[in-house]
Structure 1
């Protein structure tokens, strides 16, 4: 059997601590070999036996490290990724992969030049609700889709003092939640013809985008990506209309909350979403409660291990990341100009 993929996480904030560390430690074929952090006491409080590198350079210079996972603020992703690839490491970058398409192309060129793999952690492809919707579309339960609303709303009236909510490169909900929704939309429907968007800061005292309404225009259907940080009724997830039926789903996948609560990937109930969606038949008006698929974020890392062992195609590819980044860039341009931006 191949040796476990020795992995180091750069950054031990929310994303590195809550998502990547437990998922890596509970994925067959991987081992968490260390964390890069300036706060070793914080790391050892969670992971007492893990090696802590005080700087990225030391981890990149360690010949025993196979994979670097970048879980740092968004404006640092590109430089860290290029340094890791030049050091001969495979790289996973938390979404969004970069600040814009130019940065992403620099990462892609570097990975190609050094014959290394890089991928983006798009874990919400393995949300229970998304897998359920994808299965409904794959089996043509709705007919041809004409309209799809994808929501990621929250109620967070207080602006917290953290980089995601302060003004600056890579901050705000469009980079954060929008990257998830854009990836899900493109996974289901491919790249749109054009993007029209409204990005705004609506919370009192807010400094970064906390509201977005992004319209993706396709030939025969429309997809709306939506998020608002002041939505007290924030349970709507998907509303999809087809020529045969409509599907409404409320509630969010449970894996993030399980991890935040200190749960373990794979524990009983892991990835189960108890809130069923409803399929509404257009001709008869009949309603059908739809069982959710089981989600599992470990599938992202399972695929990466299999790919590096030559056993599977990469699930989240640089080419897919580039298409998502084109949508992210186009939404910024559209919101600033007030005009639709073509992606042809």
Structure 2
């Protein structure tokens, strides 16, 4: 069968380091064109993938079978709407949208047109997340009481750009960037949230968007999730700390796949996503704990799922309805921080 032709909108960090190499290494998909106005990025994409660079997303619509939106967050909704209206299935990088109203509108449009719409929540295929899901499935932690999850870094000097200097219209800041991942993971593991409490701050001079944020979710099933995202953490906390009646699982350090992709390692390389033993997490208590092998990270599984969805009609790798629920939690967090109260979700 012919390859599915993929048009990639945006060749910044998301497009260059994540989407393009993953698309390129997925059997049945072929990167057909990239949208970027940056001459250097256009040259790099052409050299690496032998694809043309186009100036506008609309220029893709007649030459591709799938549109991937990896452009700045404020453009996600209008580009996805235009592609769906043109009869094309769509992958949107997270966050899908700034508001749940916009997210529902996109989901409804995709359903009306009978088209696949999915969201690039690649952190569902992090090795630590896959390992935790396995531990929970076999009851290794007993009854979980608290889930702690962090994406922290030490970056006292801002890098600039729309993610840090833009206003609300740019959908920048860590809440919508890293928070989209943390909330999505918490909801997938422990079900819907009933309440949200948030502390959202901008700590560094000249940064307009949030760079130091904390969320507390109370899930309907009784688990409490504590989620941190920060650019001003001089000493990093554990990536995951999960506390249960039978013990705890503690995992330090980030999944290895992002660093490999940024270094130019092809995601189809044998052993890609495998983690060294000295990085494995600990399961147990202070009195008795042992290393637990980290499941291999598997970002390629996202685009393999996209290919199956388009060819076989399988469910998309990420249900867009999940993105609606994630966005509702992010909206509730903004309201909580603004009012200094706990926000209740219905």
When normalised by structure 1's length, the TM-score is 0.95
Partner of 2:17: 18
Contact preservation (8 Å) 2:145, 2:224: yes
Aligned pairs (5 A) from 1:110-149? 110-149=109-148
In the TM superposition, what is the alpha-carbon distance from 1:121 to its structure 2 partner? 0.2
Determine whether 1:217 maps to 2:221.
no
Partner Cα distance (2:246, 2:215) in 1: 25
In the TM superposition, what is the alpha-carbon distance from 1:315 to its structure 2 partner? 2.5
- 2:193 alignment partner, SS class: coil
Partner Cα distance (2:166, 2:306) in 1: 34
What do the CA deviations read for 1:154-200 (whole angstroms, capped 9, x no partner)? 01111122111113120100110000101111110111111111111
In the TM superposition, what is the alpha-carbon distance from 1:288 to its structure 2 partner? 1.1
Partner of 2:280: 276
- 1:165 alignment partner, SS class: helix
| Structure 2 spans left out of the alignment, 5+ residues | none
What is the RMSD computed on CA atoms of the aligned residues? 1.4
132-141 or 214-223, which deviates more: 214-223
User: Stretches of 4+ moved more than 4 A in 1?
Assistant: none
In the TM superposition, what is the alpha-carbon distance from 1:221 to its structure 2 partner? 2.1
Alignment match of 2:235 (pick from 227, 233, 237): 233
16-25 or 214-223, which deviates more: 214-223
Partner Cα distance (1:138, 1:39) in 2: 46
Partner of 1:101: 100
When normalised by structure 2's length, the TM-score is 0.95
In the TM superposition, what is the alpha-carbon distance from 1:110 to its structure 2 partner? 1.4
17-26 or 162-171, which deviates more: 162-171
Contact preservation (8 Å) 1:236, 1:249: yes
In the TM superposition, what is the alpha-carbon distance from 1:268 to its structure 2 partner? 3.8
Partner of 2:322: 320
| Structure 1 spans left out of the alignment, 5+ residues | none
Contact preservation (8 Å) 1:235, 1:252: no
Partner Cα distance (1:220, 1:163) in 2: 37
Aligned pairs (5 A) from 1:180-329? 180-218=181-219, 219-234=221-236, 236-274=238-276, 275-281=279-285, 285-310=287-312, 312-329=314-331
Contact preservation (8 Å) 1:147, 1:223: yes
Partner Cα distance (2:264, 2:149) in 1: 28
Contact preservation (8 Å) 1:10, 1:35: yes
What do the CA deviations read for 1:78-99 (whole angstroms, capped 9, x no partner)? 1110000001110000000011
Contact preservation (8 Å) 1:203, 1:229: no
Contact preservation (8 Å) 2:116, 2:309: no
Contact preservation (8 Å) 2:197, 2:216: yes
